[in-house]
Amino acid sequence: MLEEGTPPEALLSQIALGNREAFAALYRATANKLFGICLRVLAERSEAEDALQDVFTTVWRKAAQFDATRASAATWLAMIARSKAIDRLRALPARQSQASLELTEDLEDPGVSPPQEAQAATDRAQLERCLDLLDARRRALIRAAFFEGSTYEELAARTQSPLGSVKSWIRRGLLQLRECLGT
């Protein structure tokens, strides 16, 4: 019998062994957060529901591939959710997020939720600090790409900028972030 509040890492190792009860417990513990992530990328609710199904069927099949030395279970699950949502977004005939993008301002509300643990607070603070060091244009593009799953082509159209420039800004931004964040 699984205890309430079993860590997701432990649930994943049980799921890798084919434990359906652990799978149901993981769903109960994480579906709300992962659905929030799917909805962030896919405004259409039914698409987000389909993406969430993709997420959990993937989790069932790939639980054995979860490597706790690379990422926490929460990060691993969140990134599967983003990835599945982006796959769905790419498959849509008409893209939803074509709103024009103003490059001189940040897109995101900088509201910060209280961190749940010290390590998360450190990672979060470091990421925010490194993003703040980027030129506003690079920062805005990286945030838009991350949260909305826009492709280079879409970002170029949305910002009315040349494709080569958009690629250059994002790639330079990534290199700068890599340098700032360290290993």
Partner 1 sequence: MNTPNPPLGSTDPSGSEPPSDDVLAGEYVLGVLDPAQRRSLETRLGSDRAFAERTAYWERRLAPLLDDIAPVSPPERVWQRVCGRLGWTNTRASIWQSLAFWRGAAILATLVAVVAVGLSVLQAPQPPTVLAPSLVTPLAHDDGTPAWLVSIDRTGGTVAVVPVPGPRDPQGRVPELWLIPPGQAPRSLGLVSVERSRTVEVPASLRAWLASGSVLAVSLEQPSGIPHAAPAGPIIAKGAIRVAGAG
Among 68, 133, 136, 174, binds partner 1 (CB under 8 A): 174
Residue with Cβ nearer partner 1 (6 or 152):
152
Residue with Cβ nearer partner 1 (91 or 94):
91
Is 129 a binder of partner 1 (CB under 8 A)?
Answer: no
What is the 3 state secondary structure string of 88-131? HHHHCCCCCCCCCCCCCCCCCCCCCCCCCCHHHHHHHHHHHHHH
Q: Which range touches partner 1 (CB under 8 A), out of 5-13, 81-89, 95-103, 132-140?
A: 81-89
Is 106 a binder of partner 1 (CB under 8 A)?
Answer: no
Q: Which amino acid is at 175?
A: L
Residue with Cβ nearer partner 1 (13 or 58):
58
Is 98 a binder of partner 1 (CB under 8 A)?
Answer: no
Is 95 a binder of partner 1 (CB under 8 A)?
Answer: no
Joined tokens for residue 98: 């074509």
Is 92 a binder of partner 1 (CB under 8 A)?
Answer: no
Among 7, 9, 43, 57, binds partner 1 (CB under 8 A): 57
# residues contacting partner 1 (CB under 8 A): 68
DSSP letters of 32-85?
HHHHHHHHHH--SHHHHHHHHHHHHHHHHHHGGG--TTTS-HHHHHHHHHHHHH
Give ∠ CA 137-150-148 in degrees, rounded to 5. 90
Q: Which amino acid is at 64?
A: A
Q: Which range touches partner 1 (CB under 8 A), out of 7-15, 98-106, 132-140, 170-178?
A: 170-178
Q: Which range touches partner 1 (CB under 8 A), out of 5-13, 95-103, 105-113, 132-140?
A: 105-113
Residue-wise burial string across 152-168, b where 16 or more C-beta atoms lie within 10 A, e elsewhere: eebbbbbbebeeeebee
Is 9 a binder of partner 1 (CB under 8 A)?
Answer: no
Among 7, 9, 43, 90, binds partner 1 (CB under 8 A): 90
